[in-house]
Amino acid sequence: MLDDFMTRATLAGIGVALAAAPLGCFVVWRRMAYFGDATAHAAILGVALSLALQISVFPGAMAVALLMALVVTFLTGRGYAMDTLLGVLAHSALAFGLVAVSFLSGIRIDLMAYLFGDILAVSRSDLVVIWGGVAMVIALITWRWSALLTSTLNEELAYASGLDPKREQLILTLSLAITVAVAIKVVGVLLIAAMLIIPAASARSLARTPEGMALIAGGIGAFSAVAGLQGAYVFDTPAGPSIVCVAALVFAALNLVSLGRTRKSMH
């Protein structure tokens, strides 16, 4: 079954969607959209380092993404505005990564594959890495779900409950770094943030509880992956961007329905 490239691509897309869904909910709740984007941009520097050291892209991308996230977390509140800090670090890391890649002689690199994903080239070993990362993220989020939720809702309440919001932020940061590393092959560094944010934002109008929002976001993400891949296959379009396009269309459709309901209730 795994000999078929479309089957492997579909499994990879669903895996990334399931990891990104609960994490995306926290990104939306905490208004960390730029944080996710910056972490993803930094991963291209990790890709360059991995290629230079001739090791798997996954550990290099995860290490740099995690380092980036930790630096941002550490510097926030020390005289730097969050959006300014993210803008400087994200684009600097992306630029340094792209320049570093150009110095790698004797290595054939398809930059477009890292920027926009190359899900159709996912191998069996890639699937093992992707689903291993997905399992780690889901396990981390499930383990700390209540603590993460409390810290997100109210830091003072978290302290009163004996929780350390900074530790929960660190767990969220680690999960984000793992997700970025496994998603590079699927949607690329420029579209990872979209897969984190769009399904979660779409689920917001349908969900009654935080848990429901995470589950619905996972369903929307998985549907976007499958439908986007089918669309890419039929219309011969880039697979990664096609997945994000489907997610965006779902978001637009759900918001139009919600807007229609609001107008009806007003009349």
Write out pLDDT tens, residues 66-88. 888 788 777 766 666 777 887 88
Residue 83 is predicted with a pLDDT of 74
Domain 5-190 sits in which CATH superfamily? ABC transporter involved in vitamin B12 uptake, BtuC (1.10.3470.10)
Domain boundaries, given as residue ranges, for the chain? 5-190
The better pLDDT of the pair 55, 264 is held by: 55
Residue 14 is predicted with a pLDDT of 96
Q: How far is CA 138 from CA 84, 144, 151, 188, in A?
A: 31, 10, 18, 21
Residue 2 has pLDDT above 60, yes or no: no
For the chain, the average pLDDT equals 88
Residue 24 is predicted with a pLDDT of 93
Tokens of 179: 């997700």
* DSSP annotation of 121: G
Amino acid in the structure at residue 142: T
CB 122 within 8 A of CB 58: no
Beta-carbon count within 10 A of 262 CB: 9
Which of 148, 172, 152, 151 has its CA nearest to residue 160? 151
Write out pLDDT tens, residues 80-112. 677 788 788 888 888 888 888 888 776 666 778
